[in-house]
Amino acid sequence: MVELKNVSFRYGNEETQVDNENCLRDVSLSVKTGEFVLLTGPSGCGKTTILRLINGLIPQFYPGEVIGDILIDGEETKDKELYDTALKVGTVFQNPRTQFYNVDTTGELAFGCENRGLSEKEIYTRIDKTVAHFHMEKLMDRSIFHLSDGEKQKIACASVDVSDPDIILLDEPSANLDYDATLLLREMIVQWKAAGKTIIAAEHRIAYLWDIIDRAVIMRDGRIVRELVGSEKDGLTPDELYSMGLRTTMTESPSDIQKDTFRKEDTPITLKKFRFSYRGKKQPIVNIPLLQLAEGEITAIVGANGAGKTSLLNCLCGLEKHCKGKLQYKGKNYGRKARRKLCFMVMQDTGNQLFTESVLDEVLISLPKNTVHEKEKALELLQSLDLSDYTDRHPQSLSGGQKQRLAIACALASGRKILLLDEPTSGLDYAHMQETSALLQKLRDMGTTILVVTHDSELIHACCGRSISL
Amino acid sequence: MKNENKLKGRDLINIGIYGAIYFVILFAVAMLGMIPIFLPLLSVLVPIVGGIPFMLFLTKVKKPGMIFITAMIMGILMLLTGMGPWPLLTCAIAGILAELCVGSGKYKSAKKAVLSYGLFSMWIFGNYLPLFTDYEGYFAQRADYGQAYIDAVQKLMPLWMAPVLLAACFICGILGGLLGRALLKKHFEKAGLA
Amino acid sequence: MAYSSEKTQEKRRGFLDPRTKLALVLVLALFVMGGLGGDMLKPVKTGLSALPFLLLLIERQWKRFARGIVMLAVGYGLLFIMPYLPGALNYIALLCGGILTRFVVTIVMGEYLISTTSVSEFISAMERLHMPQAITIPMSVMFRLFPTIGAEWKSIRRAMGMRGIYLSGTKAGQVLEYQMVPMITSSVRIGEELSASALTRGLGAPVKRTNICRIGCRVQDGLLLFLCLAVIAIWILELCGVTLW
């Protein structure tokens, strides 16, 4: 049983800046043993904060001011050491690439029990049980660096399962997963529920959980605004959902959305002989002998984790030396190096492509040399991307969505005609997804051709006119 | 009663994070050092570039022991990569000195932080120690290459190079510390990392 | 047949215990690189120098074996041609040759240790050597992060290429800044998330940590450890003035 009694929380202390996002205001919530509760709401509403209060990361890891009581089975967690709370609470985090402590999968599964000092024999037995239960023999004894995101997330869940806590917290576990991996994740959660675990999930993508939860708790600005159970939950109309800032409750595979890749009336951009394989692998990850894309359209690229979507973007941008493909744009052939000046990719880790000390500088270094009135131009661009309030901010201090917009501003400043985006809406709420979609449409209307790799069916419906399935 | 000065899990992980960044830089420079004429460059480049993550690391150091542990781990890693046990010795000494220096500034003073990094950087000298220890013995073994060899090596790696290299580590450490402070102000503080 | 983690761990066990490898690195560093001991140890050292290469062959590390041999050959080659070279080149050849012949063997041994030991094996060995958690925890974090930092580095370089920022002589300092700042920022952020996840799984609890990784001494370890002890014994005898051969 988990109880929050009149909890308020603010990150940081008096010395550091006070961050009003993600704070909690007088939240009371009680989750019964064996119950499955979904926390949802727009970004910054405080759902992740609640999970951190339960697993003790607040205040032990993320300092801040906690008012009120957080009780697990009647015991206060605030003052407990993290390793004591860990005996009862297990957490699966959002980013599959950053939650592993070990470099091999078996070690990762054993990790929680090793820290508790359980006997070797006991740990082996537990691992074998989990492996058999979740059918993951093929994932064992592998390097975590050679797993897809979906497989990593499965290992993360299994690692929690081996530790066998009573309470399992899920912090946006599906944000980086494709449709099939999301369904596998759902399967694991169903098994936990059947085993009587108490489960609390924070999610934007609520569709895959909607029919297995006992209760949905909807939050906004640090408060609980609505709780839904039973028929109330099932009877929600899309408009009601959107007004609460929620995403759809319908599951739909992105590859089931029927869109043409190319229509007769389209102006073609032609890809010829795009072929790329990783070093030491015979099977090419990208193999496109000939493909026509529509110029001036937004094309979605869909496919499972590991189907080579990101690799294709890398090849298109001219970042893979061994990919010898040619791209024909407006009747001109572009080789690898020429494509570097034609295409621009907004990467998944947008932070890695921003280098300077201010938003304005970032755009300035992208403008071609000898631009006249460069500052005015840069400011104008920032204005058109809603970034004019942030011109002096450090790029690395921006939110994910702002970083994306800044990267796009740089692409436009350097005069790129083809814009590639890698999962621009992973982990975004409904409003931010709509914003991204509106921005992409605006860019399309300005004449930019856009390719977007995505698992997000809602984004495809909202803005993509064409689609390719890899 | 809780001991506020005891290192907790998070402190140890922080040592790991910054230690890893520092070591990657060291390793990248050492790759240059595989061509032996660049070997002395180690004492210049590593302290300067390494100052960038290290100054950020020092903003996380609020308890005694973290710098010393970092130094010892560098020593162990050097041992593992086949550089011998000598770096362990210099690491221990440099680690303690750096620790005392930051401690005397109560883990807050920026000047002490830079100085402390200069002291810390002196551990790198340990990698050169085998070139100077047992100087006579080493050449006695190599006598089969002839007197010309001994003369030539003594000209290139004369004993006075030892204090020069040590000083280079320290001075470049100070420079690296200043560079690290500058980037800390220019970037990391604004980015919300420090 | 059902999966058994215990059996697989046993199957994946390395040829040597990491502690044996560590002892070998130490002995090689002291005697071959450090030059301890006199005439009596000379033949022993020649034998010791061959050891890392032999071990690389046993573990089928062909590439590393070849690289080590080439480096050693270059070293001796330089020393061989040195007398025939004029002035400055003579010195450079001499210095390079001298350093290579001296350091390569131990470095190859270190490479053998690193390339054939898994992180969990290594941490397990450290724990059995009674290293405190204050050393083992940071080191395991480091080993976990090395590949990640490498990947971030690569991704940043690519991003720089895409943004049109290239390494040119005039702007070396700025390129360093552009490279380092995002690299450190993202590594630190990844590290933070990693810590959060590790701490919620009980890392740092004040109990004796278990390690399921199988290590332990077998015949081959015994032999090599005996060899290490023998070398030290000969050295001590020599110091005491005993002549064996």
Place of tokens 């002890």: C229
Strand order in the sheet with A418-422: A343-346, A418-422, A449-453, A298-302, A466-469
| List of chains touching C (3+ CB pairs within 8 A) | A, B
Which chain A positions have a beta carbon within 8 Å of B191's beta carbon? 394-397
Supply the DSSP symbol for B160: T
Token pair belonging to A405: 């917009």
C4: closest chain A residue by CA:
A128
A171 with A94: CB under 8 angstroms?
yes
Question: Residue A218: in which H helix or E strand, if any?
Answer: strand A215-220
The whole-model pTM stands at: 0.90
Q: Is C111 domain-assigned?
A: yes
**Which residues does A313 contact at the CB level (< 8 Å), separation at least 6?**
A301, A345, A420, A422, A451, A453
Rounded distance between C-alpha atoms, residue C160 and residue C147, angstroms: 20
Contact C185 B36 (CB under 8 A): no
pLDDT exceeds cutoff 70 at B146: no
Half-sphere exposure of C17 (CA within 13 A, CB side): 20
Residue contact C210–A101, C-beta within 8 A: no
* Helix C18-28 × helix C219-239 angle, to 10°: 30
Task: Please identify which residue in the block is written with the tokens 């000494």.
Answer: B93
Asked if residue C125 belongs to a domain, the reply is no
A2 contacts A200 by C-beta, under 8 angstroms: yes
C124 assigned to some structural domain: no
- Same domain (yes/no): C4, C82: yes
Q: Do B187 and A394 touch (CB under 8 A)?
A: yes
What is the average per-residue pLDDT within C64-74?
92
3-state secondary structure of A99: coil
Spatial distance between the Cα atoms of B1 and A454, rounded to a whole number of angstroms:
52
For an interface test with C, which of B2, B7, B12 has the most C Cβ atoms less than 10 Å from its Cβ? B12
Q: Going by C-beta distance under 8 Å and a sequence separation of 6 or more, which residues neighbour residue A388?
A: A379, A382
> Do B83 and C29 make contact, defined as CB atoms within 8 angstroms?
yes
Q: Please name which of A125, A84, A448, A86 lies closest in space to residue A296, comparing C-alpha atoms.
A: A448
Is residue C198 domain-resident?
yes
> According to CATH, where is 3.40.50.300 located in chain A?
2-243, 254-469
Mark yes or no for CB contact B190/A83 under 8 Å. no
Chains A & C: contacts with CB separation below 8 Å: 192
pLDDT in tens, chain A (470 residues): 899 999 999 887 655 555 566 789 999 999 999 999 999 998 888 999 999 999 999 888 888 889 999 999 999 998 899 999 999 999 999 988 889 999 899 999 999 999 999 999 999 999 999 999 999 999 999 988 888 888 999 999 999 999 999 999 999 999 888 888 999 999 999 999 999 999 999 999 999 999 999 999 999 989 999 999 878 888 888 888 888 888 888 888 888 888 888 888 888 899 988 888 887 777 888 888 888 899 999 999 998 877 888 889 999 998 888 888 899 998 899 998 889 889 999 998 899 999 999 999 999 988 887 778 889 999 999 998 889 999 999 999 888 889 999 999 999 998 899 999 999 998 888 988 999 999 999 999 999 999 999 989 999 999 999 999 88
Residue contact B80–C94, C-beta within 8 A: no
Interchain contact, C203 vs A115, CB within 8 Å: yes
- The total number of structural domains in chain C stands at 2
Yes or no, beta carbons of B84 and C107 under 8 Å apart: no
The rounded mean pLDDT for chain B is: 85
Cα dihedral A433, A438, A443, A445 sign: positive
Q: What is the distance between the alpha carbons of residues A95 and A351, in angstroms, rounded to a whole number?
A: 15
Instruction: State CA C232 to chain mean position distance.
Output: 22
Q: Give the per-residue pLDDT at B1.
A: 38
Is the per-residue pLDDT at C3 higher than 60? Answer: yes
Using CB atoms and an 8 Å cut-off, which of residues 70-89 of chain A contact chain B? 82-83
> pLDDT of B71-129, one tens digit each?
999 999 988 887 888 899 999 999 999 999 999 999 989 999 999 999 999 999 998 88
Q: Inter-chain contact A397–B192, Cβ cutoff 8 Å? A: yes
Q: In A170-219, which residue ranges form alpha helices assigned H by DSSP? A: 179-194
Kindly state whether residues C217 and C196 are assigned to the same domain. Answer: no
Shared-domain flag, residues C100 and C175:
no
Residue A200 has a pLDDT of: 97
One-letter amino acid for residue C2 of the chain:
A
The shortest C-alpha distance from B187 to chain A (Å) reads 6
| Residue appearing with tokens 């058109």 | A384
- Cα A44–Cα A98–Cα A185 angle in degrees, nearest 5: 75
Q: What is the pLDDT of residue A407?
A: 93
Nearest CB among C4, C158, C201 relative to A111 is that of: C201
Q: How many whole angstroms separate alpha carbon B81 and alpha carbon C108?
A: 8
Give the pLDDT band (50/70/90) at residue B176: very high
Say whether B12 and C141 touch across the interface (CB within 8 A).
yes
Q: At B141, is the pLDDT very low, low, confident or very high (cuts 50, 70, 90)?
A: low
Burial category of A177 from C-beta neighbours within 10 Å (exposed 0-12, middle 13-18, buried 19 and up):
buried
B82 and C110: CB-CB below 8 Å? yes
**pLDDT score for C68:** 92
Residues linked to residue A334 through DSSP beta bridges, in sequence order: A327
Encoding tokens for residue B139?
């050449």
From A60's Cα to the closest Cα of chain B, the distance in A is: 9
Do residue B21 and residue C149 have CB atoms under 8 angstroms apart? Answer: yes
What are the Cα distances from residue B55, in Å, to A108, B175, C158, C227? 32, 12, 27, 45
pLDDT tier at C31 (50, 70, 90 boundaries)? confident
Tell whether the model's pLDDT for residue C79 goes beyond 90.
Answer: no
Q: What part of C 157-176 touches A (C-beta under 8 Å)?
A: 158-165
> The complex's ipTM?
0.89
Reduce the DSSP state of residue A104 to 3 states and report it.
strand
DSSP notation for A270-313? EEEEEEE--TT-SS-SEEEEEEEEETTSEEEEE--TTSSHHHHH
Q: Which of C178, C196, C212 sits opposite A57 (nearest CB)?
A: C196
C231 is a domain residue:
yes
Query: Per-domain residue ranges for chain B?
Result: 9-191
Residues C85 and C162 in one domain: no
Phi-psi region of C176 (alpha: psi -120 to 50; beta: other; left: phi over 0): alpha
> Hey, how many other C-beta atoms are within 10 angstroms of the C-beta on B178?
17
Query: Over 80: is that where the pLDDT of C99 sits?
Result: no
Token representation of residue A234? 């099932």
**Interchain pair C5, A128: CB under 8 A:** yes
Residue with tokens 């690296």: B176
pLDDT of residue B133: 62
To the nearest 10°, report the CA torsion of A206, A210, A216, A221. 10
Q: Of A58, A115, A130, which to mutate for an interface test with C (greatest number of C Cβ within 10 Å)?
A: A115
* Best CATH choice for the domain A254-469 from the list 3.20.20.140, 3.40.50.300, 3.40.190.10, 3.40.50.10700: 3.40.50.300
Task: Provide the b/e sequence for C145-163 (b: ≥16 CB within 10 Å).
Answer: bbebbeebbebbbbbbebb
pLDDT of residue B101: 95
Test C146 with B193 for CB contact under 8 angstroms: no
Give me the CATH topology for the region A2-243: Rossmann fold (3.40.50)
Given a cut of 80, whether residue C90 has pLDDT beyond it is: no
Closest listed residue to residue A141, CA positions, set C168, C118, C112, B26: C118
More confident residue, B36 or B32: B32
Residue C242 dihedral angles phi and psi, to the nearest 5°: -85, 135
User: Is A397 an 8 Å CB contact of chain B?
Assistant: yes
Euclidean distance between CA atoms C65 and C57, whole angstroms = 7
Question: Exposure of C210 by Cβ count < 10 A (0-12 exposed, 13-18 middle, 19+ buried)?
Answer: buried
Kindly state whether residues C148 and C93 are assigned to the same domain.
Answer: no
- pLDDT band (50, 70, 90) for residue B156: low
- CB-CB neighbors (< 8 A) of C197 in chain A: 91, 93, 98-101
Domain holding C59, by residue range, is: 1-118+213-245
Kindly write down the DSSP assignment for every residue of chain C, as one continuous string: ----HHHHHHHT--SS-HHHHHHHHHHHIIIIIS--S-GGGHHHHHHHHHHHHHHHHHTT-HHHHHHHHHHHHHHHHHHHHGGGS-HHHHHHHHHHHHHHHHHHHHHHHHHHHHHH--HHHHHHHHHHTT--HHHHHHHHHHHHHHHHHHHHHHHHHHHHHHHT----GGGHHHHHHHHHHHHHHHHHHHHHHHHHHHHTTTTT-SSPPP--------HHHHHHHHHHHHHHHHHHHHHTT----
Strand-pair partners of A70 = A4
pLDDT in tens, C142-163: 998 998 999 999 899 889 888 8
Nearest to A86 among C140, C193, C201 (CB): C201
Q: What is the pLDDT of residue A128?
A: 95
Q: What is the pLDDT of residue B155?
A: 62
Question: What b/e string do you get for A1-16 counting C-beta neighbours within 10 Å, with b at 16 or more?
Answer: ebbbeebebbbeeeee
- Residue A82 to chain B, least CA–CA distance (Å): 9
Q: Which residues of C touch A114 (CB under 8 A)?
A: 209-212
Provide, as residue numbers in chain A, all residues whose Cβ is less than 8 Å from the Cβ of C213: 107
Partner residue facing A357 (CB), from B10, B187, B193:
B187
Residue C123 domain flag = no
**Phi–psi pair at A167, nearest 5 degrees:** -115, 130
CB pairs B-C closer than 8 Å: 183
